[in-house]
Amino acid sequence: MVYVPDSVSLLSGKNALILFFGVYLTVVINLIRKYRTFDIYLFFSNDKSKRNRSIRRFISGFIIIDVMPILWFLVLYTFIIPNQPGPFPIMAAAFAALSILGFARILHSVIATEKHKKFYSDEDFNIVMSKWGRGDDPDNSFKAHFITGFSYLIIFPVIAYLIVII
């Protein structure tokens, strides 16, 4: 007869962070589709302004959605989440991974607010805003979205840290 303790966890906090971070990164990538950030085929457009706008969106999206989350993952993995099994490290990993949703808000603040003319023509911006579901929302400002996104990057890791020290 094999004895298995009741509280066996196959996931450590760091393993759970990898899992949750991957799931939430997939959600973020799905959320940003409406911004047409990675329309690489427009790099070859004959319209110079369309080409330049798509290159700006791509560079912004690549830095904010690809590079920054990887660096953020490294911070969470190294400094916040313990490599211990159990429910508290796994819960901490889930909360810490939620912080990645802030990068979608930050991307919105950079490319889809009042300074959108560098990234979209007026017609394209109206299409993006209609997909966002808010149209001509007067509260669609850089400040509102950036602060919200940055708050995600602070609040959820703090919650994770507090769970870890319990």
**Whether pLDDT at 4 is above 60:** no
pLDDT of 166: 83
> In the chain, helix, strand, coil percent, each to 5?
75, 0, 25
Band (pLDDT 50/70/90 cuts) for residue 24 is very high
Task: Report CA 152 to chain centroid distance, whole Å.
Answer: 9
Q: What global pTM score does this model have?
A: 0.89
Give the Å distances, CA to CA, from 132 to 25, 26, 140.
19, 18, 11
Domain boundaries defined on the chain: 20-164
pLDDT of 132: 75
Band (pLDDT 50/70/90 cuts) for residue 7 is low
pLDDT 10s digits, 122-163: 899 888 888 877 666 777 899 999 999 999 999 999 999 999
Only one residue has tokens 């911006």, namely 125
pLDDT 10s digits, 61-110: 999 999 999 999 999 999 999 999 999 999 999 999 999 999 999 999 99
pLDDT of 37: 94
